[in-house]
Amino acid sequence: MANKLKNCSGCGRLYLDTGVGICPDCQQKELDAEDMVAAYVRENQGCTVAEVCAATGISEKIVRRMIRQGRFSNIPGAEFRYPCAKCGEMIDHGDYCFSCQRQITADLVAQQQKAMANAAARKTAGMYSMDIRNGKR
């Protein structure tokens, strides 16, 4: 993916995006924030998201993202559970439970195969019409 200028979703400044979505300054700030959150969770086993936010002053958005990424799954005693976005089963990382994730992946693969088949059909059709044009010249 090519780098392009984008407005940082954190501070709004223009920066060269490498696919992260935020500028290097905000990235560093988020890394610091994540370190703080991880340290707090390690020292306060069984704490809730609200407690983490209140104690560290870090936005719930960042804490929730870390949970989704499974950043606390290797910290003993850290249990942040939330419902699967599809069926509501309690999970501790990702957006979906295992069975929904498997279903979504299967759907995605089927979709991609369909898209690839469509693209191949379009390409063949395009080549065919080009041949006709060239033939007329």
Phi-psi region for residue 81, left (φ > 0), alpha (ψ -120 to 50) or beta? beta
Distances (CA, A) of 133 to 70, 90, 94: 56, 59, 51
Q: How many residues bind Zn ion (CB under 5 A)?
A: 11
Does 87 bind Zn ion (CB under 5 A)? Our answer is: yes
Site string for Zn ion, 43-82 (x = CB under 5 A): ----------------------------------------
Nearest approach, Cβ of 96 to Zn ion (angstroms)? 5
Rounded to a whole number of angstroms, the minimum distance from the CB of residue 34 to Zn ion is: 16
Report the alpha-carbon distance of residue 30 to residue 62 in Å, rounded: 8
Closest to Zn ion by CB, 30 vs 41, is 30
10 binds Zn ion (CB under 5 A): yes
Return the H-helix or E-strand segment holding 22. none
Query: Considering only residues 86, 92, 93, 103, which one is a binding residue for Zn ion as defined by CB under 5 A?
Result: 86
Q: Which stretch binds Zn ion (CB under 5 A): 5-13, 43-51, 69-77, 127-135?
A: 5-13
Q: Please compute, for residue 20, the number of CA atoms within 13 A of its CA located in the half-sphere on the CB side.
A: 15
